[in-house]
Structure 1
Amino acid sequence: MSEAVSALGGLAFDGYVQVAETGPHGMIVLRSKGDGLEGALAALGLPVPGQRRIVQAGERAVAWMSPDEYLIWLPYAEVAEAVAALEAALAGRHHLVANVSDARAVFTLRGTGAREVLAKACPVDFAPGVFEPGEVRRTRAAQVAAAVWMSEDETFTLVCFRSVARYVFDLLSTLARPGSEVGLYR
């Protein structure tokens, strides 16, 4: 088996917001409804998140992506074992479990202007009190599909397809350029 390589080799930009590509991360898409979902996620030590929520348990997390889709986040080395556990827990039920770790790129945005940088790119209200830690949104970052969540104050994670990683990095870096602040959310 080959060694995991991040999409952009950890490329980073330090503007009025820090933008960094942070992969590789383990990611599993789970599509399932109804019976067995709670037990399947519990086998990984995770609860079922509420609508537009992400919940963490140590190094693992699960994000609600749609009424029957969840994104499971875990250390890269644990993906194969987690896929097997999910498949076993959901055996005989209609479901899909897919390892998407190598198909995604992950970015972290840090700084007091992180909400503003994302608001410039995404049609989401990132205002304090509206978008807080534990919130997740599927959206667009300019012209590409993305998922965004706030992991802690002034820190956001953005996940996109690996094929558009350079575009997303360049977009976020441009929006985070010193001197491009507009003062939104301050």
Structure 2
Amino acid sequence: MSNVVSALQHASFVDGIADVREMGLRGMITLRGDLSDKKLIKAVKAIAGAMPEQRMIAVKGEAGAAWMSPDELLLMVPHGDALSTVKSLNASLKGTHFLAANVSDARAVFEVSGPCAREVMAKLAPVDFAPVAFEMGMFRRTRMAQVPAAFWMSGENSFTIVCFRSVGEYMFDLLSVAAQNGSEVNAL
């Protein structure tokens, strides 16, 4: 059996206005169904501690649930727990209309951190990153340059970005260029 490795095996760019890091393996589960169903809400709360509201993320320790669409959540757990979490969801949601799929190995996860993290993100995504417009707990699913991505603030000066693994290197390069020294807005 082969060893599971992350998209870029913890690549990092730390010589710019913000740090960019590939975060390694993370368990991710697409959960589709009626988000108002009591059984589904109970199952999500057992994993993430809370059911996320629209365009929000709920986080409990290493687990989380992010709102992706009116009938879809992205559940995040430690990578080694993804298969057992899907199995648990299948058991607890039996009899309801739902889909729980382990998509862990199809995704790449990055972090952009530092005092200029908002600036780096604003260069790539059509989102208002002003502190009053994008706060902790908010979650967006959009495009960053030419690729679909989702992101949230994981700390006061940090963002976590999720994209398809197949474009992981492209995303890392985008983030690194946007974070390079001399790329500050109003640097002249």
Instruction: Give the structure-1-normalised TM-score.
Output: 0.95
Distance across 2 between alignment mates of 1:27 and 1:136: 15
Q: Do structure 1's residue 147 and structure 2's residue 156 form an aligned pair?
A: no
After superposition, the Cα gap between the structure-2 partners of 1:49 and 1:150, relative to the gap in structure 1 and judged at 3 Å, is same
Offset, 1:43 = 3.4
2:59 aligns with 56
Contact 1:43 / 1:86 at 8 angstroms: preserved in 2? no
Structure 1 unaligned regions, length at least 5: none
Offset, 1:94 = 1.0
Distance across 1 between alignment mates of 2:186 and 2:157: 15
3-state SS of the aligned residue for 2:123? helix
Q: 2:134 aligns with which of 131, 143, 152?
A: 131
3-state SS of the aligned residue for 2:47? coil
Structure 2 unaligned regions, length at least 5: none
Instruction: Give the structure-2-normalised TM-score.
Output: 0.94
Between 1:126-135 and 1:1-10, the stretch displaced more is 1-10
CA RMSD, aligned part only? 1.3
Contact 1:117 / 1:175 at 8 angstroms: preserved in 2? yes
After superposition, the Cα gap between the structure-2 partners of 1:174 and 1:45, relative to the gap in structure 1 and judged at 3 Å, is closer
Q: 1:37 aligns with which of 34, 37, 40?
A: 40
Cα deviation, 1:66-124, whole Å, max 9, x if unaligned, reads: 11110111101111111011111111111110101100000000011111111100001
Q: 2:88 aligns with which of 80, 85, 91?
A: 85
The residue correspondences of 1:1-186 to structure 2 (distance < 5 A) are: 1-14=1-14, 15-33=16-34, 34-35=36-37, 36-183=39-186
Contact 2:48 / 2:60 at 8 angstroms: preserved in 1? yes
- 2:171 maps to a residue whose letter is V
Distance across 1 between alignment mates of 2:157 and 2:61: 20
Contact 2:48 / 2:59 at 8 angstroms: preserved in 1? no
Identity rate of aligned residues, in percent?
54
Distance across 2 between alignment mates of 1:43 and 1:131: 27
